[in-house]
A and B are shown apart, each in its own frame.
Chain A
Amino acid sequence: MPEKRIRVLIAKPGLDGHDRGAKIIARALRDAGMEVIYTGLRQTPEMIASAAAQEDVDVIGLSILSGAHNTLAPQLMELLKQKAWAT
C-alpha cells in the first residue's frame, strides 16, 4: 500500500493581503512531498474549517500578518472543537 501523503491546508484568514509567506510555506511543504491546498486570501474561519473538512486535511497552516491572530486563531479553533476535529 502506498504511503499516505500528508495533506495540508494553507489558509489566510483575515484581511491582510500578504500571502507571499504562505505561498513559500505551501511550496516548501509540497517540495517535502506533501499535498498542499492553498485557500487564497481573505478567508473567514468558517470558510477555512469547511475547506479543511472537505479536503480532509491532516494539518491546517494559518498565515496572519494583520495582527488579528488573537481573534482569528481562537475562532477557528473554536469551530474545529465544535466539530471535534481539533487535536
Chain B
Amino acid sequence: MTVLLGGTIPEADIPALKKAGIAEIFLPGTSTTRHSNFVRKRAARKTRQGLLNNLAVGVAQLDGGPVRASSIPVQSLPGRPRKRGSSCSGCKYFLATVSASAAVTAESRSGNFRVIIRRKIVQKYFRENPGGLTAGLKHSRQRPWTENPLPGPIPPRSSASRSCGGFP
C-alpha cells in the first residue's frame, strides 16, 4: 500500500517521513490535480508490483535451483484474495513468468509485463497442486489458471521452424 501524507508539515520533517516510507508529502496549497495524478501513477505501479509479489508468494514454497529462464504466456494470474469479491482486472493478459526465490524480475512495456519464470519449478508446482495457483483464492470472476495450462518444454528450435515456409 502506498501511503501519502498531507497537512501542515514543516519542510524540515519531509526527509525523515520519506525515509519512514511515506511515498509523497503534499503541503498546503497543492493543487488537487497533483494528488489525483500522483495516486493514479502510483496505483498503476503498485498493481503491477502486487501481482508480482503474489506470484512470488505462490511459488515461493517450492524449492529448486535456477533453471533456464524462459517466458511463458499466461492468460490470467491470481491477484490478492479479495474480501469483496471484486474482479481483478489488473491481471488481464500478460506474459508472466515466475521465479522461485521471490527474485521476480519484471519490466513493464507499454502496459504489458513480463516476469521471468523458472519453468521447471512452476511445472513441478502444477504437478503437485492440480488446482493451480488460484486453488486457495477467492476469485469469483476470474478464470482459474489451469484453464491455460503451462506449455510443455520448449521444442528445440530447428531451422525449419525458423524458416518462413517456402518463401524464397
Contact = CB atoms under 8 A, between A and B. Distances in A.
B148 interface: no
Given A58-B1, A63-B6, A28 B32 contact: yes
Interface in A28-61: 28-29, 31-32, 34, 52, 54, 56-61
A56 B21 contact: no
A87 B22 CA distance: 9
B2 interface: yes
Contact of B2 (A21, A28, A87): A87
27 contacts: A2-B89, A3-B89, A4-B47, A4-B90, A8-B39, A21-B7, A22-B6, A25-B6, A28-B32, A31-B36, A32-B36, A56-B82, A56-B86, A57-B1, A58-B1, A58-B43, A58-B46, A59-B3, A59-B42, A59-B46, A60-B4, A62-B4, A63-B6, A65-B7, A70-B16, A81-B21, A87-B2
Interface string B14-32: 0011001111000010001
Contact of B35 (A1, A3, A28): A28
Interface in A1-27: 1-4, 6, 8, 21-22, 24-25
Interface of B: 1-9, 13, 16-17, 20-23, 28, 32-33, 35-36, 39-40, 42-43, 46-47, 49-50, 80, 82-84, 86-90, 92
A86 B13 CA distance: 20
Contacts of B7: 21, 62-65, 69
Contacts, number: 121
A86 B89 CA distance: 22
A80 B8 contact: no
Contacts of B82: 56
Contact of B32 (A25, A63, A70): A25
A47 to B, nearest CB: 15
A13 to B, nearest CB: 10
B40 A62 contact: no
Contacts of B6: 21-22, 25, 61-64
A67 B84 CA distance: 35
A24 B32 contact: yes
Contact of A56 (B33, B42, B46, B84): B84
B3 to A, nearest CB: 5
Contacts of A6: 39-40, 43
